[in-house]
Amino acid sequence: MKHFRHLLQLSLLLFIFVSCIQKSEKTRMPKQYSIEQLYENLAVYGSGFNADEAKILIGNNSTGIYNVYELSIADTTVKPLTTSQKESFFAVDFLPHSSKFLYSADKGGDENSHLYLKSQSDTSAIDLTPWPKSTNSFFGWSDDKKSMYVVSNSRDQKYFDLWKLDTLSWKPVMIYQNDSGLDPGVISKSERYIALTKSITTDKNELFLFDAKSKKMTRISSDNEATWNPMAFERNDSVMYYTTSDGSEFSYLVKYNINSGKAEKLYEDKWDVAYMSLSENEKFHTIFVNEDGKNKVLLFDHKTNQRIDFPEIKDGDVLGVNISESEKNLLLTVGSSTSPQNLYVYNIDTKNLKQLTSTLNKEIDQNDLVKAEIVRFKSFDGREIPAIYYQPLQADKNRKAAALIFVHGGPGGQSRVGFSNSIQFFVNHGYAVLAVNNRGSSGYGKTFYKMDNKDHSNGDLKDCIWGKKWLAQQSNIDSTAIGIYGGSYGGCMVLGALAFHPEEFKVGVDLFGVANWLRTLRSIPAYWESGRKALYEEMGDPYSADSVRLKNISPLYNYQKINKPLIVFQGANDVRVLPVESDEIVAGVKKNGVPVEYVVFPDEGHGFVKKENQITTAKRTLEFLDKYLKSPNN
């Protein structure tokens, strides 16, 4: 949903796509690859340096699920540290000054993540957060590196408290008890100050500064409609950094003097400043800007606030920067439209850049994959809608391609830079894909972001339809063979398109999409309590008169109108979109005599993590498209 932050692993796996400009080239038939070849590509991420900065803790899915590994910078060899065969284990960090490490794992996608400590020699791990039915996340290390902070809802499933665990006994001590939906954002090095946020609507929140010494709570945010997100404290306890959209369409970075209460605008752009971080001893700070769906990363000397040259990687988009404790090395996560993300290490002093991983399957020629292009089209009301276009290399006016409208999750998500095995698979096999950032998407200003509030399945859905009209006008697209594809909120848009505009799309591909908004909003997981009212403000309150509209826009209550082939994928352990949503829409559409295919994965939640299930999803989708979408002459 729009307000809520997903865990790192989901953010790496779910619906994050590319936006590099595609150069025109002569139409040709690329070598076609099997989905198995594409899923031999490696998904990898880095979590941090070890004590002597010679090794990096990483995670990858080379075994079919995520496990934890240690990567040597000198020779790029990789040593497995976990060997799970059932559940994905996600690397968190090395224990400071130790070869031991932390990882996170849930069970079958149930989102009850726990933090585990493991040594490299032992086969078993210690659950540091052994609290039943709790969701726990790593919140960083104390300044002396002798304790770990954890955010957990173990005390009350509705709220996340801030705990401190020393690294000898691992006994939890409460740092901040959250009884009113004030979620911990950032803690100062001295532990005196904690930045807290409170959701008001999905377009507005509040920012507070809590003084643990005096117990004083200071409100930083204004009454204006804006978002406020804490980023960092300076270690002298005199400065806090945060981003806000107060008085602006886009978020900017603010330097706040804790002693005087003075707020100074430190950096702004014509796009959202999405993130800022300080290095360990405050020698550097980084700023990430969400520039038209692609990251712009800036490195600064923190004391002088002067820009420092950042390594340029051809055709690469920097997705993450981790500055080592010595402040000499940067761990960079870099992606592109035609390659899964890779890890690089950059030495600031020597300016030496070294690639540590090579994630593209060596059987695949990168030239046979498609670079994506940012396009814009006019929607039903004349508003310009951004989108990301993947055009098959083999498509031309004589060999027209079938096409898919892709709808991201949310509401409030954004199709962005990254790499998708499944999208490249579909495009490689002749299908064009247009990833629409419909109204309500993030990254294009707060006016655009809130345009879908209590208007879902109307303007946002029409944007997708007008995207389809744009596709139909392209000379190399078969206008009679355009389908719609999406997951979660995007899956709801798929079902809504087929139910409310039954003649627009030829087929629908729904991944765990909401079918009944009344049930989904009433069954929000307990740990979303701090944002539940905000979500109700956007979508509508299912316990109020809004329930009439929510029922009307729910595909389940309009399934009788669906007359086009549909395929549905669902995780049996999904806590966000319950399996009954997909069960019922499939049963309903089958009554219409329409071809319906249904795939349920017993070991997945909201989003499919296991490579085997991802392969099945893409393969079954292509078979479905070849049967029901593609015209005989394609």
Concatenated DSSP letters of 206-256: EEEEEETTTTEEEE-S-SSS--EEEEEE-TTSSEEEEEE-TTSSS-EEEEE
- Whether residue 280 is predicted with pLDDT greater than 70 in this model: the reply is yes
- pLDDT recorded at residue 311: 86
Exposed/middle/buried for residue 307 (C-beta within 10 Å: 0-12, 13-18, 19+) = exposed
* Contact assessment for residue 302 and residue 284, using Cβ atoms and an 8 Å cutoff: yes
Exposed/middle/buried for residue 595 (C-beta within 10 Å: 0-12, 13-18, 19+) = middle
Q: Is 43 helix (H, G, I), strand (E, B) or coil?
A: coil
- pLDDT recorded at residue 385: 98
First to last CA, the chain: 37
Question: Where are the extended beta strands (E) located within 11-154?
Answer: 44-49, 55-60, 67-72, 78-80, 90-94, 101-105, 114-118, 126-127, 136-141, 147-152
Cα 9 from Cα 88, distance rounded (Å): 9
Cα 621 from Cα 402, distance rounded (Å): 14
Comparing CA positions, the residue from 286, 257, 260 lying closest to residue 273 is 286
Distances from the Cα of 355 to the Cαs of 74, 309, 331, in angstroms? 11, 18, 10
Q: Give 13's pLDDT tier (boundaries 50, 70, 90).
A: very low
Least confident span in 21-30, 129-138, 398-407, 546-555: 21-30
- Whether residue 4 is predicted with pLDDT greater than 60 in this model: the reply is no
- pLDDT recorded at residue 16: 32
Q: Give 120's pLDDT tier (boundaries 50, 70, 90).
A: very high
Comparing CA positions, the residue from 89, 90, 92, 137 lying closest to residue 112 is 137
* Contact assessment for residue 56 and residue 50, using Cβ atoms and an 8 Å cutoff: yes
- 43-176 folds as Neuraminidase (2.120.10)
Q: What is the 3-state secondary structure (H, E, C) of 434-466?
A: EEECCCCCCCCCHHHHCCCCCCCCCHHHHHHHH
Concatenated DSSP letters of 477-512: EEEEEEEEEEETHHHHHHHHHHHHSTTT-S-EEEES
Q: For the sheet containing 373-378, what is the strand order?
A: 373-378, 384-390, 432-436, 401-407, 477-487, 508-511, 566-571, 596-601
What is the chain's mean pLDDT, rounded?
A: 93
* Contact assessment for residue 389 and residue 372, using Cβ atoms and an 8 Å cutoff: yes
Cα 185 from Cα 200, distance rounded (Å): 16
Neighbours of 561 (CB within 10 A): 13
Contacts of residue 548, Cβ cutoff 8 Å, sequence gap at least 6: none
Average pLDDT in the 352-363 region?
97
Task: Tell me the pLDDT tens digit for each residue of 378-391.
Answer: 999 999 999 999 99
- Whether residue 5 is predicted with pLDDT greater than 50 in this model: the reply is no
Task: Tell me the pLDDT tens digit for each residue of 194-214.
Answer: 999 999 988 899 999 999 999
Going by CATH, does the domain composed of 366-628 fall within 3.40.50.1820?
yes
Contacts of residue 3, Cβ cutoff 8 Å, sequence gap at least 6: 199, 202, 412, 531, 534, 535
Q: Give 345's pLDDT tier (boundaries 50, 70, 90).
A: very high
Q: What's the angle, vertex CA 109, arms to CA 105 and CA 111, rounded to 5? A: 70
- pLDDT recorded at residue 23: 37
Cα 580 from Cα 65, distance rounded (Å): 26
- The residue with greater pLDDT, 151 or 18, is 151
Least confident span in 3-12, 89-98, 455-464, 511-520: 3-12
Task: Tell me the pLDDT tens digit for each residue of 503-524.
Answer: 999 999 999 999 999 999 999 8
Q: How is the chain split into domains, by residue range? A: 43-176, 366-628
Same fold, 43-176 and 366-628: no
> Could you give the count of Cα atoms lying within 13 Å of 442 in the half-sphere of its Cβ?
25
Q: For the sheet containing 228-233, what is the strand order?
A: 228-233, 239-244, 252-257, 263-267
- pLDDT recorded at residue 18: 32
Task: Tell me the pLDDT tens digit for each residue of 564-580.
Answer: 999 999 999 999 999 99
Average pLDDT in the 326-330 region?
97
At 43, list the tokens: 């998904």
Q: Is 566 helix (H, G, I), strand (E, B) or coil?
A: strand
- pLDDT recorded at residue 485: 98
- pLDDT recorded at residue 123: 87
Cα 284 from Cα 303, distance rounded (Å): 8
Please tell me whether the overall predicted TM-score, pTM, comes out greater than 0.85 for this model: yes
Is the backbone peptide bond immediately before 411 cis, with ω within 30 degrees of 0?
Answer: yes
- Whether residue 9 is predicted with pLDDT greater than 80 in this model: the reply is no
DSSP symbol at 602: T
Q: Give 365's pLDDT tier (boundaries 50, 70, 90).
A: very high
Task: Tell me the pLDDT tens digit for each residue of 43-86.
Answer: 999 999 999 999 999 999 999 999 999 999 999 999 999 999 99
- Whether residue 178 is predicted with pLDDT greater than 80 in this model: the reply is yes
Q: Is 343 helix (H, G, I), strand (E, B) or coil?
A: strand
